[in-house]
Amino acid sequence: MKEVVLLLLVALMLNGCGGTNTVNTQTAQTAAGGVWSAEILGGSGEASGFSFNTEFTVNSGGGLDITYFQFLTAEGGTSPCFPVEGGTEAGTMKLNINGSTGAVTGTMTYTVQATGNTLTLNGPVTGTAPITGSPTSLSNGSVTGTWTVTGGPGCNATGGTFTMCQASTASPSTGLCTTTTTTPATTSQNQSLR
């Protein structure tokens, strides 16, 4: 009898802990999708000028299902590293949402491969999502990180930086991210957006 009472008490304690908003993580997965713009700085010659627009959804495993891609700048030289429409794009976006504040954090990797060259972007993701109901939208989504390009002669560069943001938060005149992000409070109640 004591064991049954003890188990019931433990179950009640676990069930009642926290008292904060919960997030439907399956529905929240779609929150990060949409049109994003990337401004890529650094590099030189053909290994530069890689700013682009892309559209994707984030699937249940955190992979990006990319439906649109286009570089924004034309590269110089006689042998560009990538065609303007890119090539083969892939990526991941692994996100968590704080059930109390709606702060979104995570990581993103995005790659473009064509003509034997590979552009890779890596960085942390920040943003906010609604904490009531199903979070079907991500606001102020942005990524700031580093990029590299590897491949043929003239198409190798490391150490560059990039900023990528939801197109809805980019400046209409410059395409640059205009979001300001705050560091979310760390709690043990983060829910996965995946």
pLDDT tens, residue by residue, 33-89: 889 999 999 988 888 889 999 999 998 888 999 999 999 875 544 457 898 888 999
- CATH number of this structure's domain 23-192, picked from the four choices 2.40.128.30, 3.90.550.10, 1.10.150.130, 3.30.450.20: 2.40.128.30
Question: How crowded is the C-beta side of 54, counted as CA atoms within 13 Å?
Answer: 25
Q: What percent of the residues of the chain are helix, what percent strand, and what percent coil, each to the nearest 5?
A: 15, 45, 40
pLDDT at 118 over 90: yes
pLDDT value for 119: 95
The encoded tokens of residue 58 equal 């984030």
3-state secondary structure of 60: coil
pLDDT value for 154: 87
Say which range, 45-49, 81-85, 94-98, 179-183, has the weakest mean pLDDT.
179-183
What is the band of 171 on the pLDDT scale with cuts at 50, 70, 90? low
Contacts of 91 (CB under 8 A, 6+ apart): 56, 63, 64, 66, 108, 109, 110, 111
